[in-house]
Structure 1
Amino acid sequence: MRIRLTAGETVLDAALDDNATARDFASLLPLTLQKNDLFKREKYGPLPRSLAAGGEPRSSYRIGHIVYWSPGPDTAVFYDHEGQFIPDPGIVVLGEIDSGADAFKKYDGTVDVTIEAIG
């Protein structure tokens, strides 16, 4: 499934992974989340509820990953990478932004992000 993230004038397209957690996330769309900054590497914020298990937990990420902090209910978008690993229980990758995730650097503090299905 293809999704679009909109924050202010920033519009980014992404693809969701094919796993149970990502499908459950898609069932919540469209939604607008208030995302806060964490470590100048990610924008995170809570979902209205926790997501279903089914995605494989990981301890690493790439710029552009859209992730779920299991057991939730927080999601995050990584826009920078400082070489750190994610502690247990890890993150579940929901999808990945096609390009331009570093645009989130310009939003200090919090930003509202609308996420919707496209196509």
Structure 2
Amino acid sequence: MKKIKITMQNQTFTANFEENATTESLIAQMPLELPMLNLYSRELTYRFKQALPANETQTSGYATGDIAYWTPRHSFVIFYKQTGEIISDLQKVGHINGGDLKQFRSLGNVSMKFEEIK
């Protein structure tokens, strides 16, 4: 697992990223500041212009705090609300450690910075 620091509006979170090709591609670009869109009242999303490698996609549900990459739209996603939806072509990237993500519900679009903790 790789440890990642996520900073947003003077708040800091940590996440554990899994070891896979998608994570390696993301870490190679860090520090990375992304304008995240608040979509579907359940997730913060950034759509990369180019596809990231994703060798372990699957159809699955998600947990609150999961970080994933949805291959059809090149979408990097942080799930903050559970809707019970099953999503196809999802590559698991990691999970935010602890913390209450309910505060994300009241956010609009927000800039987030991602940095590897070494």
Bin of the TM-score, shorter chain as denominator length: 0.7 to 0.9
Q: 1:77 to 1:19 in 2, by over 3 A?
A: same
Match of 2:31 in 1: 30
Where does 1:1-119 land on structure 2 (aligned, <5 Å)?
A: 1-47=2-48, 49-86=50-87, 88=88, 90-100=89-99, 102=101, 103-107=103-107, 109-119=108-118
Tell me the amino acid that sits aligned with residue 85 of structure 1.
I
In terms of mean alpha carbon deviation, does 66-75 or 32-41 score higher? 66-75
Letter aligned with residue 19 of structure 2: D
**Matched pairs, number:** 116
In structure 1, how many angstroms separate the alpha carbons of the residues matched to 2:100 and 2:57? 23
CA RMSD of aligned residues (A): 1.6
**Structure 2 unpaired stretches of 5+:** none
- CA change 1:71–1:27 in 2 (3 A) is farther
**Larger proportion of strand:** 2
Q: List gaps (5 residues or longer) in structure 1.
A: none
